[in-house]
Structure 1
Amino acid sequence: MSRSIDYGNLMHRAMRGLIREVLDGIAKNGLPGAHHFFITFDTMHPDVEIADWLSDRYPDEMTIVIQHWFDNLDVGEDGFAVTLNFGDSPEPLFIPYDAIRTFVDPSVEFGLRFETQEEDDAEHEDEDDEEIAEAPMAEMAEEEAEPGKPREAEVVSLDRFRK
């Protein structure tokens, strides 16, 4: 019987713990400086709680922005709850950490990307997929950059550490 250390899953748990710690600090003290977050998550994850109209509009994944207006940020052991404004209509959301696909803070060019096993298999078949998948995060970072200073978020792919 061959045993090995599952570094990929260990890294994913550690990075989700980092997200939890960051959000917990924001819940207690607010957003410092220019920090803000783009969080993309799997809307079909069984523990995600969003309004039906949002899951209908975003049947696969959704990106939320935690920046100017957010309320009731409650950080828990398995996920976080937050109320966001959608067209002058506050909507409560619950997002488990396991549902998070990307976490980006373009103000400091920091990003994390979590991949599922199916995405790993596809990545090995076509390495160009990674560039395509990272393009939307880079575009979001550029939209938030100061005029005349385009910036891209640096994305750390944890799957580089998997065997």
Structure 2
Amino acid sequence: MAIETHADAIMLRWTPEKEDLRELARRPAYRRQMVKPMVVAAILLAVGLVLKLTVLAVVGGVLLLLLGLLSGRARQLRWNNDPFVRDPVEYVADKRGLSRRQQDFECWWGWSRIRDVEESSRAFILRLGIGRPSDGPFLILPKRGLASAADETRLRELLDAQVRRRQTS
């Protein structure tokens, strides 16, 4: 299946880096999601220490440690075990949607499949699917994959028109 592109399409090309996956953990939504279990673990630790309940303190401390380590470990495992994460990639965005091309893989998403867009200083992060804000897969579009600052502006405007405006209506 060949995905055709239009003249007004915006192309992003890059070779992924481990740092790209760290963009997901830098998102404010991710940090808010991690706060709840960390607060529970910290309360268990504090109550255990104050009441001198060693088991409760140990459980709280272990939970805090695990929460801090598991996120980074999950990203490392994804990087090491998923060839799609490391292979050079090309995304093309136009008024119809977003296509992804890699050596042995090609797919396309219509704009209705993209639920939300977050922008950081390094990337556009697109969340796919339906459900809670923390659910669903993500697409990371590093800004370094764009040819120019003008393309970055055009992509931002396209995402605003196709995804963000749809959320408010």
Q: Which has the higher helix share?
A: 2
Instruction: Give the structure with the higher percent strand.
Output: 1
Work out whether the TM-score is over 0.5. Answer: no
TM-score when normalising by structure 2: 0.27
Please, what TM-score do these two structures have when normalized by structure 1? Answer: 0.28
- Larger C-alpha radius of gyration, 1 or 2? 2
